[in-house]
Amino acid sequence: MTERIPTQIIETADPTRPVRLTPAQAGGAIHTRSFAGRFRNLRLLFGGLLFALFFGTAWMEWEGRQAVLWDLGARQFHVFGSTFWPQDFILLSALLIIAAFGLFFITVLAGRVWCGYACPQSSWTWIFMWAEKITEGDRHQRIKLDAAPWSANKLLRRTAKHALWLAISLATAIALVGYFTPVRELAAGLLTFDAEAGPVIWVALFTAATYLNAGWLREQVCLHMCPYSRFQSVMFDADTLNVAYDAARGESRGPRKKDSNPRAQGLGDCTDCTLCIQICPTGIDIRDGLQLDCISCGACIDACNEVMDKIGYARGLIRYTSEHALQGRATRLLRPRLVGYGVALLAMIGAFVWALDARSLVSLDVTRDRTLYRENSDGQIENMYTLKVINKSRQVQHYDVALIGSGFALQGPTVLRIGPGEIANVPYSVKQLAESEQTTHAIGFAITAPDDATAQDRVSSTFIAPRR
């Protein structure tokens, strides 16, 4: 027999129709039931890829160094064979904008599927729920354990659960901090109690944050802390795919025998087994319609399809569908809003790829000396400059330095040898070859690598002279 969900019952004026509160409405702990199905498998696939990417990338090596490392001390961001500098952070801004538009596109198309299948908060919550299951048992066992008085068995199970939660949180924190400090040195330092105080503090903070968010807050993060849940409804339209209950087919609800005719009893296809509530990670009843708490994980679809299979009904009483489809109308996949987001997203991806490919592997910055000008022994006016040159490539480079502007001469080395990832600060002087009535002149500096067409940069500056 299907286990009924413990609920809080509120009496009404009609004793035959009491109000049954869901776990989310009652405000108690949400204990989810184990289940299987297509959408659970998809979630496991995406979650597995996310965990492999997050934990695996942190430990990968590339050409003798950590493959992905944000070296805050050196102000360098290493991504496999490329090194990015603060001057390249505009690319990071562009990448974040692309990610935002990608999320907008997915939301218009298929609702909140990001939350259900790929969001880190949801993925880590599922892992913590798995740890809860293997230490405290399935749903009914956990409910009984909550209600039971404290005993050695309860203490042992709770200790095992929280120890596993803390272990997962610590591994997560080490991997995350390992993207900002060499992860192998960090792990070795933690094991030998010889790590620096700064990384240890961050590991402790992220361990606590993971333990709190995925272990205790869970769905409260999605409902009250995540801004996405607030503005997602603005992006929905009647053609957006969402997890929805087909009320026209399912109502009226009620239990029935397997071989009985529900129509003769005035019943729809919904058996009111409440399995869709028991497996919901946010504790809602999807039959109440689209709700802010729903993360579109598809768990209720798997549970309902399993029941439909057992009693011989067609699947899809709960399914991914649109408002138009529920009304018997056709769902339009191609519509102006979706096409607009798609075109904008493709254009931004193209521009980002072009900018990444055209990124100069040398950076030039020019600082003019505070002194306005000086007069040399030949009576010529000179200005002093400092050229800051960054070699962003992974090879030693020889750069040609040239002055842009007629009537001036550059004094200083015309060829600079700079090692990979090094920064050179080189002083130069520029002299005025002929007198002029102008007091300010526009000049520029250019730096090029003869053997690398991508390594070139130009910077404008000014030359100041006295009035003649």
pLDDT above 60 (res 257): yes
In 3D space, the residue among 301, 285, 302 whose CA is nearest the CA of residue 293 turns out to be: 285
What's CA 436's distance to the chain center, in Å? 58
Q: Quote the pLDDT of residue 223.
A: 85
Q: For 222-236, 309-323, 412-426, which range has the lowest pLDDT when averaged over its residues?
A: 222-236
pLDDT above 90 (res 184): yes
Q: Quote the pLDDT of residue 8.
A: 56
pLDDT, one tens digit per residue, over 50-78 is 999 999 999 999 988 899 999 988 888 99
- DSSP element (H, E) containing 385: strand 381-391
**Model confidence at 141, in pLDDT bands (50, 70, 90)?**
very high
Q: Quote the pLDDT of residue 2.
A: 41
What's CA 44's distance to the chain center, in Å? 18
Q: What are the residues whose beta carbons fall under 8 Å from the beta carbon of 158, sequence distance 6 or more? A: 136
Using only the alpha carbons of the chain, give its radius of gyration.
32
**Model confidence at 3, in pLDDT bands (50, 70, 90)?**
very low
Q: For 1-15, 132-146, 418-432, which range has the lowest pLDDT when averaged over its residues?
A: 1-15
Q: Quote the pLDDT of residue 11.
A: 47
Average pLDDT over residues 400-416: 95
Q: Quote the pLDDT of residue 75.
A: 84
Separation between Cα atoms, residue 383 and residue 465, nearest integer Å: 8
Q: Quote the pLDDT of residue 86.
A: 85
**Model confidence at 12, in pLDDT bands (50, 70, 90)?**
very low
Average pLDDT over residues 127-145: 95
* Mean pLDDT of the chain, nearest integer: 91
Q: Vertex 211, ends 208 and 217: CA angle to 5°?
A: 115
pLDDT above 50 (res 362): yes
Sheet strands (E) in 16-115:
19-21, 61-62, 65-66, 68-71, 76-79, 82-84
Q: Does residue 123 or residue 25 have the better pLDDT?
A: 123
Average pLDDT over residues 167-174: 98
Separation between Cα atoms, residue 132 and residue 144, nearest integer Å: 14
Average pLDDT over residues 274-285: 94
Q: Does residue 26 or residue 137 have the better pLDDT?
A: 137
Which percentage of the chain shows pLDDT scores above 90?
74
Contact 284, 293 (CB under 8 A): yes
Q: Quote the pLDDT of residue 18.
A: 53
**Model confidence at 462, in pLDDT bands (50, 70, 90)?**
very high
Q: Quote the pLDDT of residue 429.
A: 96
List the domain boundaries for the chain: 1-359, 362-464
Instruction: Specify the CATH architecture of the domain 362-464.
Output: Sandwich (2.60)
Q: Is 162 helix (H, G, I), strand (E, B) or coil?
A: helix
Both tokens of 145, joined, read 């354990």
Separation between Cα atoms, residue 10 and residue 168, nearest integer Å: 40
Residue with tokens 């009914």: 140
Average pLDDT over residues 161-174: 98
In 3D space, the residue among 326, 290, 286 whose CA is nearest the CA of residue 302 turns out to be: 286
Average pLDDT over residues 104-128: 94
Q: Quote the pLDDT of residue 20.
A: 66
**Residue 309 dihedral angles phi and psi, to the nearest 5°:** -65, -40
pLDDT above 70 (res 388): yes
Q: Quote the pLDDT of residue 226.
A: 87
In 3D space, the residue among 324, 316, 318 whose CA is nearest the CA of residue 294 turns out to be: 318
**Model confidence at 224, in pLDDT bands (50, 70, 90)?**
confident
Which percentage of the chain shows pLDDT scores above 70?
96
Separation between Cα atoms, residue 165 and residue 245, nearest integer Å: 34
Contact 371, 408 (CB under 8 A): no
pLDDT above 90 (res 10): no
